Amino acid sequence: MKLNGVDVSSGASVEVSFDRAITVVDHLIRPPDNSAFLAPGWIDLQVNGFAGVDYNSAASSHAEIALSIRAMFACGVTRFFPTVITGSPDNMSAALRNLANAKESIAEGPAMEAFHLEGPYISPEDGPRGAHPARWVRPPDLEEFRRFQGDARGNIRLVTLSPEWPQAPRFIEAIVQQGVVASIGHTRASSEQISDAVSAGATLSTHLGNGADAVLPRHPNYLWEQLAEDRLAASFIVDGFHLPSSFLNVALRAKGLERSLLVTDAVAPAGCSPGPYRLGEVDVELRPDGSVRLTGGTRLAGSALMMHHAIANVMKTAGLSLRDAISLATRNPARVGRIANRQRGINPGDRADLVLFRLDDTTGQLTILETYLSGQRVF
């Protein structure tokens, strides 16, 4: 297979030859006729559901999961981490088993690169807990995690937890030794607890600026501590609802573009019409303004964000170049999520996960033309 386009990372017009992996990248004398950009496919480390399908429900059929993945392909996503949030042990295990079975059985399964466990080891406090059900929040438990990992057939690669639990440092050390990324999120941890978590091996802050108290001490507080910690990368939900532009700009400067990445935190309503939906055992609603909130309330509960919109949003909100914005959705999450053969961009030997798209100079929006997963055209 061959694709022509402008390589986002270099600005050069290229022809890329590939099968399952990229084999040759040739520079062209003239720009391609299609006026399209070529980039590695997007990577999303936090997807709770999409296109009406809830990954937290074991009742979601494999056909429905396949449909939701194909809808993500249309947004340029080629690899993602289905995310299971706080729930009862039985429900979380059932959801993980269902996802593991789907990953192995459906044609779209390879796009489910690994799984993200967001909870249940988070803050029990209102505010930092976010939309996670309070009755199922619990301290880190290595034996339970091992059961979850067994249910997931070893696919859990990212765990979001709060360091405020006394068990957190030992838990982090143990899962990191197993190749799992430990991320700080939904927390009311102290400065010392955050420092201990990082020393134990935590390397990421989950959707920094969200899953937090409405009012914080001026300083110190857990947002400042994470922003100042250079050993932590940070993910951001750039949908116009989760973060004000001032915080996003300051956070990107503090973390640096090399330690920043985009996530959608998408839930089942993403890509759907406004109305009522479910996230695990929680009732949510997609409002006409595009926000997803707990039914009857104002608290955000995930997002309806699509990754190609997140890229456009961060360009507009933070003034990033196309090249930098793309890196927040490709190379950076590949590195942070330990996704092999996806960390160098468009280079021979890397997986042929590719997206061909156009950028509207007037609106700043991206239009996805073609998406390839391991060399196969999926959109």
Alpha-carbon dihedral sign for residues 161, 164, 167, 171: positive
Beta strand spans in the chain (E)? 2-7, 13-18, 22-27, 37-40, 42-47, 49-50, 53-54, 77-85, 115-118, 156-161, 181-184, 204-205, 233-236, 260-262, 275-279, 282-286, 292-294, 354-359, 366-373, 376-377
Which member of 265, 324, 350, 353 is catalytic? Answer: 265
180 vs 201: CA distance, rounded Å: 10
87 vs 131: CA distance, rounded Å: 11
159 vs 181: CA distance, rounded Å: 6
Alpha-carbon dihedral sign for residues 162, 168, 171, 175: positive
Alpha-carbon dihedral sign for residues 150, 85, 140, 90: negative
φ and ψ at 155, to 5 degrees?
Answer: -85, -10
- Active-site residue, 265 included: yes
Task: Return the active site residues.
Answer: 265
